């Protein structure tokens, strides 16, 4: 029988079994293929997490070395597309540029598409950033990991190991996270058998929004506006009087603190000269949480991953305009994993809607206006 109760945000609706990851919103825990996010970051880099996610689903799955080689060769392949990309992406933001870049990749490409997209995103992002600063794009180095090479291609030279490790930790932390909006979008497109590149591109488009992957840039804008700690409480009073949504707080699933926030906060602490900024962020966070309790009592809102993402990417000297695009580099591994899983066992995803428009007059309805 047709149900007419509308659940516009699909809260609590379970649409698939998945072996990829579990987000426990009550306990504040994230498990990725049997490992806690804290374990993953301590033991695996980005390539290791991709190999884990793809294990049993795709070429290279379970084999970190194969993934590292696959990514390296895909970065080389993608670099050949950079001149065309730069021509087509003039005047666009980095995430818009990645949208163009993924759109340029052909379904007829022979290289396995999961490698291709995961290799192309860092190359395209670095090229877009370099050229926005009037510098020429650097060719990838196949001997490096994604994090090492991405920082090198952005900066023009290898970064200190501590920065490379921090970026690697970030990419590993955000690689997968249940049925978030972009992953679900990618799976919907995959369910039509449109192919991996189209499905990843759809995921990227969903990630771009400020309610999902677009939040960390505005977290830094908020820090700028607050300016100094003694202004924080008044700033939040003013923000709530205007109905402002605080970026970096709240989550559909987590009713407690997002565990990734602390993983990234600890990563920021490993970087030189971050103590002052970190102390500021911690105090602003306390003030934000207090304001959320005051103005949104009972809503169970807490810090999400994007709050300390903002701080970490700032410490890595990534421009704010590129934060969402960088998120896509890490999340691409998870999107691919979910696409494989969807293709392997899923049916076309096709929900129902409740029609509230006019009915034909011949059926006894009122005339259309
Ligand atoms: N600041 C202020 N109030 C908030 C916030 C926030 N960040 N988040 C939720 N609320 C309030 C809502 O206004 C609503 O209040 P009401 O009951 O008075 O109307 C209540 O809490 C419930 O909020 P919903 O919007 O129903 O929560 P939902 O689960 O739909 O939204 C979302 C989740 C989109 C993440 C939301 O919390 C938000 O916009 N946060 C800020 C953006 C952000 O940081 N996004 C990144 C999330 S992590 C990620 O995607 C990688």
Annotated catalytic residue 251: yes
- The residue whose CA has the least distance to atom 10 of ligand 1 is 250
pTM over 0.85: yes
CATH number of 216-315: 1.10.230.10
Q: How many angstroms is it from 112 CA to the middle of ligand 1?
A: 37
- pLDDT of amino acid 362: 85
Q: How many angstroms is it from 114 CA to the middle of ligand 1?
A: 32
**296-330, pLDDT tens digit by residue?**
999 999 999 999 999 999 999 999 999 999 999 99
CATH number of 21-210+320-345: 1.10.580.10
Q: Is the pLDDT of residue 368 over 70?
A: no
- What contacts 16, CB < 8 A, 6 or more positions away? 179, 187, 341, 342, 346
**35-71, pLDDT tens digit by residue?**
999 999 999 999 999 999 999 999 999 999 999 999 9
> Which of the four pLDDT bands, split at 50, 70 and 90, describes residue 361?
confident
- The residue whose CA has the least distance to atom 36 of ligand 1 is 250
- Point out the catalytic residue in the list 81, 164, 285, 306: 306
The values of phi and psi at residue 23, to 5°, are -105, 115
Which residues approach ligand 1 with their CB closer than 6 A? 9, 180, 211-213, 215, 245-252, 296, 299, 301, 304-306
**94-138, pLDDT tens digit by residue?**
999 999 999 999 999 999 999 999 999 999 999 999 999 999 999
- Point out the catalytic residue in the list 113, 251, 285, 338: 251
Q: How many angstroms is it from 61 CA to the middle of ligand 1?
A: 35
User: 334 with 127: CB under 8 angstroms?
Assistant: no
- What contacts 303, CB < 8 A, 6 or more positions away? 248, 249, 257, 258, 261, 285, 288, 289
- pLDDT of amino acid 323: 97
Which candidate, 307, 308, 52, places its Cα nearest to that of 166?
308
Q: How many angstroms is it from 229 CA to the middle of ligand 1?
A: 24
The ranges assigned to domains in the chain are: 21-210+320-345, 216-315
């Amino acid at each position: 029988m047709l149900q007419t109760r509308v659940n516009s945000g699909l809260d609590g609706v379970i649409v698939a079994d998945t072996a990829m990851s579990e987000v426990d919103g009550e306990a504040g825990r994230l498990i990725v293929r049997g490992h806690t996010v804290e374990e993953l970051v301590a033991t695996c880099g980005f390539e290791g997490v991709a190999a884990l996610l793809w294990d049993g689903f795709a070429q290279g799955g379970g084999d970190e070395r194969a993934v590292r080689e696959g990514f390296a060769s895909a970065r080389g392949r993608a670099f050949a597309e950079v001149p065309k990309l730069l021509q087509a992406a003039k005047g666009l933001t980095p995430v818009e540029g990645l949208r163009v870049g993924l759109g340029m990749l052909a379904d007829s490409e022979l290289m396995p598409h999961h490698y291709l997209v995961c290799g192309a995103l860092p190359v395209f992002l670095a090229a877009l950033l370099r050229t926005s600063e009037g510098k020429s794009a650097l060719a990838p180095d196949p001997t490096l990991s994604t994090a090492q090479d991405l920082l090198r291609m952005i900066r023009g030279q290898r970064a200190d190991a501590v920065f490379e490790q921090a970026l690697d930790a970030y990419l590993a932390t955000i690689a997968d996270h249940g049925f978030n909006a972009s992953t679900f979008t990618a799976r919907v497109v995959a369910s039509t058998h449109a192919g991996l590149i189209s499905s990843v591109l759809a995921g990227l488009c969903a990630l771009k929004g400020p309610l999902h992957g677009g939040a960390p840039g505005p977290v830094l804008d908020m820090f700028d506006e607050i300016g100094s700690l003694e202004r924080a409480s008044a700033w939040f009073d003013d923000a709530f009087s205007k109905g402002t949504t605080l970026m970096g707080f709240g989550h559909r699933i987590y009713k407690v603190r997002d565990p990734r926030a602390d993983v990234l906060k600890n990563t920021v602490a490993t970087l030189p000269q971050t103590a002052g900024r970190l102390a500021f962020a911690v105090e602003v966070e306390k003030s934000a949480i207090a304001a959320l309790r005051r103005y949104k009592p009972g809503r169970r809102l807490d810090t999400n991953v994007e709050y300390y993402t903002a701080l970490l990417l700032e410490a890595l000297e990534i421009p704010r305009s590129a934060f969402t695009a960088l998120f896509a580099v890490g999340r691409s591994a998870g999107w691919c994993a979910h696409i494989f899983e969807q293709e392997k066992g899923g049916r076309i995803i096709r929900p129902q809607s409740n029609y509230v428009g006019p009915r034909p007059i011949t059926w006894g309805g009122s005339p259309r206006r």
